Amino acid sequence: MATAKKPAAKKPAAKKPAAKKVAAKKPAAKTPAAKKPAAKKPAAKKPAAKKAARKPNAAFMKPVTPSPVLALVIGDKAVPRTEVTSKIWAYIKKNGLQDKTNRRMINGDDKLKAVFGGKKQVSMFEMTKLVSMHLKA
């Protein structure tokens, strides 16, 4: 026995609210009083707590005397370790001794080979180790 389905009762359609007519807004007349509000002034800066300037490590700033071999490259005047490194890099860049393909390697010319212990090529990190052997405190 087949039972017939009863059609679902229709709900009455909800009434839609009547559309209100919206009046088009007219642009406000420009008057001197209708200027943009003045930009806010930046807040006054509070005086920052002054940090003590970082003091350089005395060990780096202590002048060291280069050996006669290293003196050919950087000069024979006693200079801090930081200056030694700067002068060596200036010499390397001036003479184009940094390897073109592997920039971490330094090719030694006649003066630097003596500093490098006869090695033709050293890495940047090995260079600092070899140079430190030529410094006297």
* Per-residue pLDDT tens over the stretch 56-114: 667 778 889 999 999 999 998 999 988 999 999 999 999 999 989 999 999 989 889 99
Q: Mapping DSSP to helix (H, G, I), strand (E, B) and coil, where does residue 97 land?
A: coil
Q: What is the pLDDT of residue 14?
A: 64
Instruction: Count each helix (H run) and each strand (E run) in the chain, helices first.
Output: 5, 4
Q: How many CB atoms within 10 Å of residue 24?
A: 4
Q: Mapping DSSP to helix (H, G, I), strand (E, B) and coil, where does residue 13 land?
A: coil
Q: What is the pLDDT of residue 47?
A: 67
Domains of the chain: 61-136 (1.10.245.10)
* Per-residue pLDDT tens over the stretch 7-65: 666 666 666 666 666 666 666 666 565 566 666 777 666 666 667 777 766 777 888 99
**Cβ neighbours for 5, distance < 8 A, ≥ 6 positions apart:** none
**Cβ neighbours for 91, distance < 8 A, ≥ 6 positions apart:** 73, 74, 97, 112
